[in-house]
Amino acid sequence: MKFLIIISAAVCFVAAQDFDCPDKNGFYGDPYQCDLYYKCTKGKAETRLCPDGLVFADENPNKELCDIPSNVDCGDRKELQEPKPSKGCPRQNGYFRHPDPQACDKFYFCSDGVPNEHPCPPGLFFDEETSNCDWKDSVPRQCDKVTKDVLDDGFTCPDGEVQGPNGRALPHPTFPHPEDCQKFYICRNGVQPQKGSCPSGKVYNEDTFMCDDAEKVSGCENYFEGQSQDKNKLPKKA
């Protein structure tokens, strides 16, 4: 790794010597490499390199900006620095398709080599060309069976939209736990399941999609009886 860094620095040094700065001070892109650019001061070039995965936006010489490739028109600047991959990240920074070929509705956001999994909104697939989620028909990917996330207790987010009390689709619908009145499930963006729990003294009301008083929820009226004697043993649904 140290050897690669030394070689890269030497190449950049030579490039800086050969780059002709314009009369105006500012930041200018390399004519061949999209993530390489120069800070020009009084005709002298100082070599700079975007973080791995980002490229230099050369529209305005007064701004020093590295951005994701889908936001920058590199034109003839086709070359890039050698990638520095890590687990889940082809490059250190950027948006990338999920390694599971059937997980078209998920993607990884990588920051400094650390991957973070994110779901697309329901009905959308991740498009690596634009780094956005788009309608399935607009994304050139084949997913015969989209992989669903499953919690350790077997819960998965059901298909289809969930209508709230006002008749509108809930962006992050919730669902009751089958046995425990105080617990529930959250489906982030309708597809990513998470566990949830109501605060002390409240139970989940599946009619309002909110936590409520136990006496207002059928089957949970006696949920908190006896808890003062045994707080670690919560009663389940009647």
**CB neighbour list of residue 80: distance below 8 Å, 6 or more residues apart:** 33, 34, 35, 55
Q: CA triplet 236, 171, 185: central angle to 5 degrees? A: 15
The tens digit of pLDDT for each residue in 182-213 reads 999 999 878 889 999 999 999 999 999 999 99
Q: How far is CA 229 from the centre of its chain?
A: 44
Work out the pLDDT band at 146, boundaries 50, 70, 90: low
**CB neighbour list of residue 42: distance below 8 Å, 6 or more residues apart:** 25
- Position 9 pLDDT exceeds 80: no
Q: Which helix (H) or strand (E) holds 196?
A: strand 192-197
Could you give the CA distance from residue 209 to residue 222 in angstroms, rounded to a whole number?
Answer: 20
Q: Are strands 55-56 and 132-135 parallel, antiparallel or unpaired?
A: unpaired
The identity of residue 156, as a single letter, is: T
What burial class does residue 131 get, using C-beta atoms within 10 Å of its C-beta: 0-12 exposed, 13-18 middle, 19+ buried? Answer: middle
Residue with tokens 């009226």: 221
**What residue spans of the chain are helical by DSSP H?**
2-18
Would you state the pLDDT for residue 233?
43
- Position 6 pLDDT exceeds 50: no
**CB neighbour list of residue 196: distance below 8 Å, 6 or more residues apart:** 174, 183, 184, 185, 186, 204
The identity of residue 72, as a single letter, is: V
Could you give the CA distance from residue 44 to residue 46 in angstroms, rounded to a whole number?
Answer: 7
Q: CA triplet 154, 126, 185: central angle to 5 degrees? A: 25
Work out the pLDDT band at 171, boundaries 50, 70, 90: confident
What are the CA-CA distances from residue 183 to residues 115, 199, 225 (Å)? 29, 10, 17
CATH numbers and ranges of domains, the chain: 26-71 (no CATH), 83-147 (2.170.140.10), 163-216 (no CATH)
What burial class does residue 40 get, using C-beta atoms within 10 Å of its C-beta: 0-12 exposed, 13-18 middle, 19+ buried? Answer: buried
66: β partners: 56
Would you state the pLDDT for residue 137?
83
